Amino acid sequence: MFYYYSIVSKPLTSTLIEKETCPVCSKKGTIEVILYMKFAAAIIPMFGLGRPTSVHCTECGHEIKSVNTPILAEAFSQKKYSPGIINAIKNIKANHKRTLWQLVYPWSLMILLGIAMICGLVMQYSVKHTNSQNSEMLANPKIGDIYKVTIDSMYLLNANTMGSKNSQTLFKIVAIKNDTLLMVRNKQKKEGIGVKENEWSTFSRENNAFESIPHKISLKGIAENKELFEFFNQKKIDSINKTDLVKSTNPLHFSKSIARIPNFNGIEVVERK
Ligand SMILES: [Zn+2]
């Protein structure tokens, strides 16, 4: 996953061993033990690699133990160090209490990935939940339901035929007669495709914000196509050739799509009180 990574050792604390003498410069009390936190990092810390120590003389610089001594080598070469140094290493590890930040920091990336994964799962669950709720409400409409829809200006009566633009608005169910929903359209419309919840927030939900003449909308069209198919009036139906059996049994044949219910992707397209 990561091609560029580094091993980082950050000093946590240090102590001088009072009674220890340097084997090189023979000075007393100059041997220092440093405790580090070690971790692998790819720009940011990925995972912790424990708390290694180093031992050196502050006077002459003689290095007794490198911070990079592998853990296994350390275990086998314990005899190399004097009892005073072994004790000092033990004490510095036992006495240094890491702050929460020092415990968490080496694992930054793992923690971020974990959080991202949990957020992803929660979002996926909530999108699925909203989508199934939408489908359920679209299939079982109730009077008063408000649908968020996008309309193509091409479908509007006073459409400007020079190119079509998407607008969004609300439709409200005022009556239900079998497969026919009587719906009124909000007087307002706003340009856009309406894929975000907040894009519908500007519309009033009050009754007087809706037109008074209802559209006759096919329930089948909503449930199956996620589109608002408006039935033609009787005069237009009479003028259509109805001899074709298939056509006459397909209710959508006598209607036209006037609006679409936008792709769910987690948005609540039906409002029910
Ligand atoms: Zn020394």
For 146-157, write each residue's pLDDT tens digit: 999 998 766 555
pLDDT of residue 245: 56
Residues 196 and 259 placed together within one structural domain of the fold:
yes
Give residues with Cβ within 8 angstroms of 187, minimum separation 6: 209, 210, 211
Residues 146 and 250 placed together within one structural domain of the fold:
yes
Between the CA of 89 and the centroid of ligand 1 the distance, in Å, is: 18
The ipTM value here is: 0.97
Between the CA of 62 and the centroid of ligand 1 the distance, in Å, is: 5
Between the CA of 60 and the centroid of ligand 1 the distance, in Å, is: 4
Structure confidence by residue, pLDDT tens digits, 165-208 = 788 999 999 999 988 999 999 999 888 777 787 888 889 999 99
CA-CA distance, 166 to 193, in Å (whole number)? Answer: 6
Residues 82 and 160 placed together within one structural domain of the fold:
no
Mean pLDDT of 242-261: 71
pLDDT of residue 5: 84
State the residue range of the domain holding 101. 6-108
End-to-end, the C-alpha distance of the chain in Å comes to 49
Give residues with Cβ within 8 angstroms of 35, minimum separation 6: 11, 12, 13, 14, 51, 53, 92, 93, 96
Residues 202 and 102 placed together within one structural domain of the fold:
no
Could you give the number of structural domains in the chain? Answer: 2
Please name every residue paired with 11 in a beta bridge, in sequence order, or none if there are none. 36
Provide the pLDDT confidence category of residue 224 given band limits of 50, 70 and 90.
confident
Between the CA of 96 and the centroid of ligand 1 the distance, in Å, is: 25
Residues 34 and 83 placed together within one structural domain of the fold:
yes
Query: Is 200:187 a contact under the CB 8 Å cutoff?
Result: no
Structure confidence by residue, pLDDT tens digits, 115-156 = 999 999 999 999 999 999 998 999 999 999 999 999 876 655
Residues 89 and 177 placed together within one structural domain of the fold:
no
Residues 32 and 95 placed together within one structural domain of the fold:
yes
Q: Is 135 inside any structural domain?
A: no
Between the CA of 24 and the centroid of ligand 1 the distance, in Å, is: 5
Q: Is 131 inside any structural domain?
A: no
Which residue, 108, 128, 162, sits at the end of a domain? 108
Between the CA of 75 and the centroid of ligand 1 the distance, in Å, is: 24
Which residue, 84, 108, 132, sits at the end of a domain? 108
pLDDT at 243 over 70: no
Q: Is 1 inside any structural domain?
A: no
Between the CA of 35 and the centroid of ligand 1 the distance, in Å, is: 19
Structure confidence by residue, pLDDT tens digits, 20-69 = 999 999 999 999 999 999 999 988 899 999 999 999 999 999 999 999 88
pLDDT of residue 42: 87
Between the CA of 28 and the centroid of ligand 1 the distance, in Å, is: 9
Q: Is 119 inside any structural domain?
A: no
The Cα diameter of the chain in Å comes to 114
Between the CA of residue 156 and those of 111, 145, 269, what are the distances in Å?
52, 22, 21
Q: Is 133 inside any structural domain?
A: no
Query: Is 129:164 a contact under the CB 8 Å cutoff?
Result: no
Residues 259 and 160 placed together within one structural domain of the fold:
yes
Q: Is 162 inside any structural domain?
A: yes
